[in-house]
Amino acid sequence: MYGKTSQILNKFWNTIIVGMIPLNIAVMFCSVMLLGCADTSEKKIKIGLSISSLRVERWPKDRDHFVAEAEKLGAEVIVQSADEDERKQNEQVENMITQGVDVLVVIPQDSVASAQIVKAAHAEGIKVIAYDRMIRESEPDLYISFDNERIGYMQAEYLIKHKPKGNYFLLGGDPGDNNAHLLRKGQLRALQNAIDNGDIKFVADQKHWAVKWDPLDALNKTEQVLTQTNNQIDAIVASNDGTAGGVIQALQGQKLDGKVLVSGQDADIAACQRIVKGTQTMTVYKPIEHIAKEAAQAAVALAKGETVQNADQTINNGTTDIPSILLTPFQVDKDNLDDVVIKDGFHTREKVYQTE
Ligand code: BGC
């Protein structure tokens, strides 16, 4: 940047000399140029983006869109993934604080352990955005996500509409992720009437969660429940597409894939292909580019000490009300895959309809 400025200055001097402009005018112009230099050499905003893990398909997309938008706004981003280790995440963020980040954007591995991040950042006057997942027991400056309770509602509502009676298995996400609890809340709300009427019955108690959203854990838990119930399951409310993959693999083992309804979330490519094939019933699409761009814009605003324009509501995180942006998710099945997911450019038609 400095090289470019001095090139401009040189050119300017040449023009002045060639044009034989009196020295006092030249000096005046030069001062103006130097003032200009002071502007362009202003310190770049440094954003720390701490990601719990990059394993699930969506997260590298979140990262890439976030970084692209932040850079477009003139900021620099330090990105680190904690590989699903909450202690590692806290250490990485401490390191980012030492490196002098102006603002932190955190996708927490654990909604409570990450409170430490908020406290450490605030002690240094650094603002924190909880990205997609809420941070509890602390006061993050902004929460940006999709409406997760609504996503849970959409998942169960779709299944109950297509299988109004029968045996249901509820498989939650990672219990350390606040979203898993919001999803469950929405799922239970959608199923409440059918539970009260006795139209549906839970085949296992409600304490089933896929630890760390692990598809293998989802597979094992589904196998156990299939064994316990002698395969008497009609619908499985899986909380995301990764775990739906594990569920469907367990169903395949019993030749029940395509017969038992299965929900999901994220519109992962494998899930879209399963929807086409008929082994997964539905998913929930969340435009990742949208959340990533909003978050990058908010991060830059907070770093500049500005208020975040779109934070038009508050969500209580168990400690206090957090200014929030909640984006809209979309229910997707085989009938609107094209119109929602493909039309939005999330996946190509070729890939979604690709047959093995
Ligand atoms: C996100 C989901 C994701 C899951 C596993 C949740 O917090 O909302 O989109 O599939 O984490 O990474």
How far is the centre of ligand 1, averaged over its atoms, from the C-alpha of 9 (Å)? Answer: 51
Ligand 1 in reach of 65 Cβ (< 6 A): no
Residues 203-260 have pLDDT tens digits of 988 789 999 999 999 999 999 999 999 999 999 999 999 999 999 999 999 999 999 9
Supply the residue whose CA is at minimum distance from atom 12 of ligand 1: 56
Give the residue, out of 53, 54, 58, 136, with the most ligand 1 atoms within 8 A of its beta carbon, to mutate for a pocket test: 58
Residue nearest to atom 5 of ligand 1 (CA): 213
Q: What is the 3-state secondary structure (H, E, C) of 114-154?
A: CHHHHHHHHHCCCEEEEECCCCCCCCCCEEEEECHHHHHHH
pLDDT at 36: 45
Decide whether any atom of ligand 1 lies within 6 Å of the 144 Cβ.
Answer: no
Q: Alpha carbon 264 to chain centroid distance?
A: 15
Residue whose CA lies nearest to ligand 1 atom number 9: 266
Tokens describing residue 346 = 């999330």
DSSP state of 172: B
Question: How does pLDDT run across 324-342, given as a tens digit for each residue?
Answer: 999 999 999 999 999 999 9
Q: How far is the CA of 88 from the centre of ligand 1 (A)?
A: 19
pTM: 0.88
Map residue 296 onto helix, strand or coil. helix
What is the C-alpha separation between 102 and 121, in angstroms, rounded? 10
Which of 177, 184, 212, 286 should be mutated for ligand 1, with most atoms under 8 A from CB? Answer: 177
Distance CA(294)–CA(308), nearest Å, equals: 10
Residue 249 has, within 13 A of its CA and on its CB side, a CA count of 15
Confidence band (pLDDT; 50, 70, 90) for 19?
very low
pLDDT over 90 percentage in the chain: 86
* Residue 52 Cα: closest atom of ligand 1: 12
Whether 110 lines ligand 1, by a CB cut-off of 6 Å, is no
